Structure 1
Amino acid sequence: MISHWVQSVVDFARAHTLLAYGLAFLLTGAEAFPIVGALVPGTAVIIALGALVPAGALRFWPLVAFATTGAIAGDGFSYWLGHRYKLEAANHWPLRGHPSLIERGEAFFRRYGGKAILVARFTPGVRAVVPLVAGITGMPAVRFYTLNIISAVLWAPAHVVMGVLIGASLTILGAVAGRLEALIVGFFVVLLLIIWLTPRAIGWLVRLMNHLRGPALTWARSRDSWFRRKIVSLLDPDTTEIPGLVALGGVLIGSTWLFFGVMQDLISGDPLVRADRSLLHLLLSMHVGWVTQLAAAVTEIGSGTGALAATGAALIWLGRRKAWRAMVYTVSTILGAVLFSAGLNLLLGHSKSLLLNTGQRTSILPGIHLAAFAALLGFLTIVMCRELTTRYRVLISIITITFLVALAFSRLYLGTEYLSITLESIAFGAAWATLLSIAYLARKAEVVRPVGLGCTTAIVFVVVGMVNIRVFHDTDMRRFSLQTQTQTMSLTQWRHGGWTHLPRRRLALFGEFDQPFTVQWVGSTAAIRSELHAHGWTLAPQWTFKSMLQFLAPHVNLALLPVLPRLASGRTDGLVMVRPSGAARSGNRIVLRLWRSNIDISQPDGKISWLWDGTIVVEHVQRLFSTLNTPVDTHNLNKPLRQLASAIPESLIVRRSYTSTTWRWNGDTLLGSSNHH
């Protein structure tokens, strides 16, 4: 998993600090080298290394010192090259093949004057050439190095602090959700690399293909054969757009990778499967009247009839334009998405297993609407963008993506789809639409008049959607208002083994198991709150502006420090109580959390009580980066459980088998109820 990989990076940086500092020095210096510097991810690496500071892997000031020194040395070396070789530098590698870079640097220098050294430090694209131009134009060395040092002193700490803030925020999130810190750090690093690499990779591919297209066309036209004619039709500038095909190829690779990644998780039982139910329970617990109304309306607009109506409108327009190939591809797009999604659902048994524990009445083939819409809208968007200017291409793409995101979220919010099925459906729809679009654009496409196609399709789609809302909205709102199903057992059954039916460990939002459940309580939270209050327990401090300042206070007051919220299978905690542990100024406290389970208990008098699952841990407050107070769980669960049992003398201690290398727990579980008899 990516979280394990990120954790290994943290451990490696902690064990090889000099290597990490040296990497910061080399990469920040290399960013100033002409041409090559544009390919060096120095900025991204400095932010990533800064994110390791709160984890204790690196120290702040040494990292700032190495990054600052490297930035000064790199720009200084580039200045020396320009000052030493003047215009001769443009005739040697690596500038020989890129004369426009010198012109861009000179234009930047003329615009900002001496301030260009400061501005270029924070401006990608020209930073790697401005110091060189400063040397070529004869800028005095004293002035250059003064500005060079000032800019480096501003640039390096700013980026390291950015990374530190990210790392500190993720540390708090990690305290909330266990391994969530490593997961988000990994996601952040990967996202940063994707943002940095994607435009450069596409630009490099486009330049390479444009460079190779001439020789390839000459070779293909030198002899007549079916294969060579295909090469000519693909590469001829009059029949295709190479940059567009390259961009579509990138989308195809990304969506295919996402699809097979989700499929692997579904087959192997990855935490993504467990995260499905956690996210489902969380969203169901957050239902608000007007939001549910809006989500239901979006889902009704994006129904199967909406997809059919949009397809019919597009086909009618394309038929009137005699765009026969576009019509065939449109039908193939939606038909392929529907058939594939239906077959996949039957193969994986989605229709049998989806949302059976929610009380929702699921669709026969989950995900089919999302796959069909992603494929249809994706293909039509690409067909329309071919004849539009860049501004309108961006606008149409944003509208399409926004609608797909809204439709996916509405179905997740209403509990009619799982997250994994949503990702799987959209990924396949995007991949299928992109694949067919590449095949369609490989030959000279028909003129479809995109404005008319888009308006006609949108009008018909919206009208059918409004009709769906009018006809089905009331029925759908009653269906979506159903609550999660619960099981019922008697109090005697629960005490004599029924308690083992509850899960052993808390399931975090992203499918990772965390602390063991060591407490079960039957009854109201008011009853246990009353019992514990007599033994020094209090409700957790509320989240206010004043209490949040305790996270930054030099001497934290545990009586005011809020408790970080946690989820169990997507459910928010229903009761959180705290009690100091040890001396008042020890920085430790015991935290009890209770979550409502999906089991109700029938009392001997016939009344129904709720059954709560709970954890009890000792929190120790640590200071990160000498400023941030972060509560961290200690892993010994036996001691706080005994203290809780002493506060509820009529509770019952039972033992369940459990082995863990993370939590020191002997398996004892406290069973308590407001009815002790």
Structure 2
Amino acid sequence: MNLADTLYQLSPSPEMLLLIIAAIALIESLALVGLLLPGVILITATASLAGHQDVAITALLLAAFIGAVLGDGLSFLLGYTQRERVTRLWPFSRHPEWLARGARFFHRYGTLSVFFGRFVGPVRPIVPLIAGMLRMSPRAFLWANLASAALWAPAYILPGYLLGQTWQQLVTLPPGVDEALIALAVALVVLAVVFSWLRQQAGRSGRLYRLLAKGARLHPVMRRFWLAESSKGQREVPLATWLLLIFSLGALSALTIGVIRQAGPFALDLQVHAMFDQLLIPSLTQVGQVMARIGDTYGVVALVLPWGAWLLLRRHYAAFLHIGAGLGAIALLNTLGKALIGRPRPDTPDYLTGSLAFPSAHASTAVVLYGLAAAFVAPELPSRYRFWAYWVAIALAFPMAISRLVIGVHWLSDLVGGALMGLVVCALVRLAWQRRHRPALTPCPWLLLSAASLVLVSARVAWLPPV
């Protein structure tokens, strides 16, 4: 049974898929809950299943259109009838800036804001609500609602539908790999969402932060620690960083003990290695080789050189030293870990002769490099955009780690150990950085520096041998 057959068995009936598409479109456009729903991901996935089952495209587009119109209509009706009460409803009572953002968008574009807002993620569920609260003409709203939904439905449905129709011809997978790939994809999405949610909860406005702050006041030792951390010129206790350090260090210690006692790969390591060994896709192997060069010593130097030079030229010496210390520390820990544990690789090409497996230096270095970049960039962004810095870091570090499985030079547990070690180093660097108030790193010519990094790393891939 191939992956397509597996998805076919797991997916709902065509009629149920139409209802799901309509429900997702409605909820994504609905005030209060639309802000919390990853609608793009859900619609793309559902449309892909519908494409695989050859559901009529007209019916699919009509379902999405109806759901989108109803969602905006209900949001408008809520704002039109409730007005002042809306500000007291959750989550707007906790996040009044969301309403303020939608109001600014509405005042800027007027009637057209309902049309444009459909395609702008951060304000999509808010603008119809604001339009109702500000007594926009129902007739004008209806025409803007219908016109935007008519364009929105194909824009969101067709890419996923096309994927479901054609992916089987683009990628041929061997039997036995299907369920494992599905489980891996689901696990990665769940872990990324949980990480993002926990990071938000550990911020000052999060429930976890307030709960621990309340508990700390009840115990003398914790109260002294909390007050000491709060008095260092910062706005809040770095709870997220402390939790990251505690959990990452605990997980790394447990995994390392297991690796030492196992004296060989785990059963899951063997299964994952066999799965990737069956993925005989030449282009994927080539991408893995390129990623191997980007993530080695030469590649990392090429990536950080423009940024390090800019930090020195702008006299951000503290940031330069902290990031440099993080990269130096992870290089040292990787060398010591490999030497002390002595775990052999599943496959050792010539350029890796004498190099051992645990932990994965590529994975750990990628986590430190992109994780610290996100941690330093996020505070310079408006609060509503900060989570994007961490999502970009995950999106950059994950392919680097997976590429080690693609080319067969690491076990899965090597990557997990490397990632955990990288998170420990990130947490330690951030705790050191957060001990005092630091000047802002903006303005930064990030486009110019990114282009310079891209040029240097491209030259490294093209001209220098792997190390």
Q: Normalized against structure 1, the TM-score is what?
A: 0.47
**How has the CA–CA distance of structure 1 residues 235 and 23 changed in structure 2, closer, same or farther, with 3 Å as cutoff?**
farther
Aligned to 1:113: 110
The residue correspondences of 1:554-569 to structure 2 (distance < 5 A) are none
Aligned to 1:53: 50
Give the 3-state SS of the residue equivalent to 1:34 in structure 2.
Answer: coil
Q: Deviations over 1:536-555 (max 9, x none)?
A: xxxxxxxxxxxxxxxxxxxx
Give the 3-state SS of the residue equivalent to 1:111 in structure 2.
Answer: helix
Aligned to 1:272: 272
**Maintained 8 Å contact 1:82/1:136:** yes
The residue correspondences of 1:502-521 to structure 2 (distance < 5 A) are none
**Maintained 8 Å contact 1:32/1:127:** yes
**How has the CA–CA distance of structure 1 residues 48 and 190 changed in structure 2, closer, same or farther, with 3 Å as cutoff?**
farther
* 2:335 aligned to which of 333, 338, 341: 338
In our comparison, the structure showing a higher alpha carbon Rg is: 1
**How has the CA–CA distance of structure 1 residues 331 and 299 changed in structure 2, closer, same or farther, with 3 Å as cutoff?**
closer
Q: Deviations over 1:641-660 (max 9, x none)?
A: xxxxxxxxxxxxxxxxxxxx
Distance 1:336 1:32 in 2: 48
Report the CA distance between 1:28 and its aligned residue.
Answer: 1.9
The residue correspondences of 1:177-192 to structure 2 (distance < 5 A) are 177=174
Aligned to 1:31: 28
Distance 2:359 2:205 in 1: 39
1:390 maps to a residue whose letter is: E
* 1:75 aligned to which of 57, 72, 77: 72
Aligned to 1:171: 168
Distance 2:412 2:175 in 1: 21
Q: Deviations over 1:610-636 (max 9, x none)?
A: xxxxxxxxxxxxxxxxxxxxxxxxxxx
Report the CA distance between 1:187 and its aligned residue.
Answer: 6.4
Structure with the higher strand share, 1 or 2: 1
**Maintained 8 Å contact 1:338/1:372:** no
Aligned to 2:421: 429
* 2:156 aligned to which of 153, 159, 173: 159
2:116 maps to a residue whose letter is: V
Report the CA distance between 1:26 and its aligned residue.
Answer: 2.4
User: Runs of 5+ in structure 1 lacking a partner?
Assistant: 304-319, 451-468, 481-677
Aligned to 1:233: 228
Report the CA distance between 1:50 and its aligned residue.
Answer: 0.7
CA RMSD of aligned residues (A): 5.8
Distance 2:167 2:370 in 1: 40
Distance 1:198 1:75 in 2: 31
Aligned to 2:368: 378
Report the CA distance between 1:362 and its aligned residue.
Answer: 4.8
Report the CA distance between 1:154 and its aligned residue.
Answer: 1.6
Give the 3-state SS of the residue equivalent to 1:125 in structure 2.
Answer: helix
**How has the CA–CA distance of structure 1 residues 438 and 155 changed in structure 2, closer, same or farther, with 3 Å as cutoff?**
same
1:273 maps to a residue whose letter is: H
Report the CA distance between 1:156 and its aligned residue.
Answer: 1.8
Further displaced range: 259-268 or 419-428: 259-268
Count of aligned residue pairs for this structure pair: 415
1:364 maps to a residue whose letter is: G
Give the 3-state SS of the residue equivalent to 2:31 in structure 1.
Answer: coil
**How has the CA–CA distance of structure 1 residues 165 and 85 changed in structure 2, closer, same or farther, with 3 Å as cutoff?**
same
Q: Deviations over 1:444-481 (max 9, x none)?
A: 2698999xxxxxxxxxxxxxxxxxx9xxx99x89xx9x
1:168 maps to a residue whose letter is: Q
**Maintained 8 Å contact 2:51/2:160:** no
Aligned to 1:64: 61
Give the 3-state SS of the residue equivalent to 1:444 in structure 2.
Answer: coil
2:244 maps to a residue whose letter is: G
Report the CA distance between 1:150 and its aligned residue.
Answer: 1.7
User: Runs of 5+ in structure 2 lacking a partner?
Assistant: 301-316, 442-459
**How has the CA–CA distance of structure 1 residues 432 and 278 changed in structure 2, closer, same or farther, with 3 Å as cutoff?**
farther
**How has the CA–CA distance of structure 1 residues 41 and 138 changed in structure 2, closer, same or farther, with 3 Å as cutoff?**
same
**Maintained 8 Å contact 1:370/1:425:** yes
Mapped pair 1:364 → 2:350: no
The residue correspondences of 1:227-266 to structure 2 (distance < 5 A) are 227-236=222-231, 238=233, 245=240, 249=244, 266=265
The residue correspondences of 1:170-569 to structure 2 (distance < 5 A) are 170-175=167-172, 177=174, 202-209=199-206, 212-213=209-210, 220=216, 225-236=220-231, 238=233, 245=240, 249=244, 266-268=265-267, 270-275=270-275, 301=298, 336-346=333-343, 350=344, 354-355=347-348, 360=350, 362-367=352-357, 370-371=360-361, 374=364, 378=368, 382=372, 390=380, 417-418=409-410, 420=412, 423-424=415-416, 426-437=418-429, 440=432, 444=435
Q: Deviations over 1:198-254 (max 9, x none)?
A: 6565334425448955x865774677x433322333455635865783598399769
Mapped pair 1:146 → 2:143: yes
**Maintained 8 Å contact 1:217/1:235:** no
**How has the CA–CA distance of structure 1 residues 46 and 132 changed in structure 2, closer, same or farther, with 3 Å as cutoff?**
same
**How has the CA–CA distance of structure 1 residues 87 and 175 changed in structure 2, closer, same or farther, with 3 Å as cutoff?**
same
Q: Which has the higher contact order (CA 8 A, sep 6+)?
A: 2
Aligned to 1:20: 17
Structure with the higher helix share, 1 or 2: 2
